[in-house]
A and B are shown apart, each in its own frame.
Chain A
Amino acid sequence: TQLLEQSPQFLSIQEGENLTVYCNSSSVFSSLQWYRQEPGEGPVLLVTVVTGGEVKKLKRLTFQFGDARKDSSLHITAAQPGDTGLYLCAGELLNRDDKIIFGKGTRLHILP
């Protein structure tokens, strides 16, 4: 059972467009993290969100944690080719601090 569903699985858009990727679950998480992975490299942490409704910005990237802490979104404004990569969300299940779940990722390709 995949507890963290990411969508879309693949996304290819033109440079300059905006996009949103989603990370959804029926489970509650005490924290959720977004990672970006480039080919041949390990995932690199972008942000951690812990409070329901929390919004964090990282330059053109905006991360939001759902009010119920069951879902999260990543919005990229004016996408650039350098944003190309695999975006992974990972959550720590509430009251199960030994359970870390990764989504399957969204593969993003920004066309110049």
Chain B
Amino acid sequence: DTAVSQTPKYLVTQMGNDKSIKCEQNLGHDTMYWYKQDSKKFLKIMFSYNNKELIINETVPNRFSPKSPDKAHLNLHINSLELGDSAVYFCASSQALGFEQFFGPGTRLTVL
């Protein structure tokens, strides 16, 4: 009965490849997020969706494209992966913006 799940947990890939990370929440929340946590553990918001609509789009390269097929899912597709994309990516959800967020376990992406 995991609340927020992400797949895969680990992803190792070569530079230039395209990859996707999936996120699902079973909490009935309206809002979902993607965060990037760098090697110094700094957590930075990338995107936020509310009821499948994009509401936060921070300064992120356009190689990153989120997709929300329904409000329980928010996937992150990354094109032309670069070394600097290596990080842990966290998905989170909340009842609405400003409400407490529940985080997934993270996806550790390593670009070689």
Check if A52 is an interface residue, CB within 8 A of chain B. Answer: no
CB nearest neighbor in B for A30 = B98
- Check B56–A42 contact: CB distance below 8 A: no
A37 to B40, CA, bound (A): 13
In the assembled complex, 22 residue pairs joining A and B whose CB atoms fall closer than 8 Å, in A order, are A30-B98, A31-B98, A33-B101, A35-B103, A37-B41, A41-B105, A42-B90, A42-B92, A42-B105, A43-B90, A44-B103, A45-B100, A45-B101, A88-B43, A92-B98, A98-B55, A98-B56, A98-B97, A100-B56, A100-B98, A105-B41, A105-B42
Residue of B nearest to A2 (CB): B42
Assembly CA distance A97 to B55 (angstroms): 10
CB–CB A104/B104 < 8 A: no
B44 within 8 A of A: yes
Interface residues in A, total, Cβ within 8 A: 24
What is the distance, in angstroms, from A99's C-beta to the closest C-beta of chain B?
A: 8
State whether the Cβ of B64 lies closer than 8 Å to any Cβ in chain A.
Answer: no
CB distance from B52 to the nearest CB of A (A): 16
Q: Footprint of A on B, CB under 8 Å? A: 4, 33, 35, 40-45, 48, 55-56, 90, 92, 97-98, 100-106
**Cα of A105 to Cα of B44 in the assembled complex, Å:** 12
Q: A residues within 8 A CB of B98?
A: 30-31, 92, 97, 100
Report the Cα distance A48→B35, complex, angstroms: 19
Chain B residues whose CB sits within 8 angstroms of the CB of A45 once the complex forms? 100-102
Q: Is the CB of A97 within 8 A of B104?
A: no
Q: Does A102 contact B (CB under 8 A)?
A: yes
Interface residues of A (CB under 8 A from B): 30-31, 33, 35, 37, 40-45, 48, 86, 88, 90, 92, 97-100, 102, 104-105, 107
Q: A98-B48, A98-B55, A98-B56 are in contact. Are A43 and B43 (CB under 8 A)?
A: yes
Q: In the complex, A37→B98 CA distance in Å?
A: 20
- Top 3 nearest A-B pairs (CB, nearest first) are A42-B103, A102-B43, A92-B98
